[in-house]
Amino acid sequence: MPTTTNRRFGLGSALTIGGAVLLLASLPMTWYHAERATHTELTGWAIFTNLRIWLVVAAILAILTALLPQGREAVVARCGLGLLAGLPVLRRIIDPPGGVVHLDQRIGLWVALAGALAIIAGGLLSAGRRVADHYGWDLPGMGPSRQLPAPTPAPPASGGTGRFARTPAEEEQIVDAEVVSEG
């Protein structure tokens, strides 16, 4: 039976928390620069009212899933949260909010995307660690895991070769059988 760990914190969890912090830190950063007479700097917090709420909620939920025991649900939720936080940010990179004013992209937009990608990568790393632990694979940094049994050496084949060759001990175990007809 495979061993399971209730590891609460690993490299995947740390990457997820780091991504969530980046996502939160991107909101007060400048996302766009407006080409106006006053050269307005637009932050993620100021320009997107609904998106800012979603990014804060997604970051908090990602941190919670990283701190919870690492079950399948937590790992899948983490990947989903990163994807759902990254897609609207990616949309704003591809199609900035338009109007008559031209907007130049700034660092805050890219930090938010990096944070969402880090949340996804942390979830995938934790998922890979769960798979490796399930199958008993020894990955670097995992610590001690259960050892696979050593392969049993094949017995020397005497009296024949190939798959169906018998050893002398097996030959001695064959007993002559007498055919009895029932009638």
When divided into structural domains, the chain yields a total of 1
Residue 175 above 70 pLDDT?
no
Q: Which helix (H) or strand (E) holds 26?
A: helix 11-26
pLDDT confidence bin for 1, thresholds 50/70/90: very low
Q: Which of 91, 94, 116, 120 is nearest to 24 (CA)?
A: 116
Residue 177 lies in a domain: no
Q: Which tokens go with 60?
A: 């908090």
Residue 45 lies in a domain: yes
Residue 3 lies in a domain: no
**DSSP alpha helix (H) spans, 99-148:** 107-135
Q: Quote the pLDDT of residue 162.
A: 60
Domain that holds residue 105: 11-135
Residue 148 lies in a domain: no
* pLDDT tens figures, 151-171: 676 655 555 566 666 666 665
Residue 136 above 90 pLDDT?
no
173 or 22, which is more confident: 22
* pLDDT tens figures, 5-56: 445 578 888 999 999 999 999 999 988 888 776 768 888 888 888 889 999 9
Residue 163 lies in a domain: no
Residue 92 lies in a domain: yes
Ranges of beta strands (E only) in the chain are 30-34, 41-43, 103-105
Quote the CA–CA distance of 64 and 89 in Å, as a whole number.
21
Residue 75 lies in a domain: yes
Quote the CA–CA distance of 28 and 39 in Å, as a whole number.
17
Residue 18 lies in a domain: yes
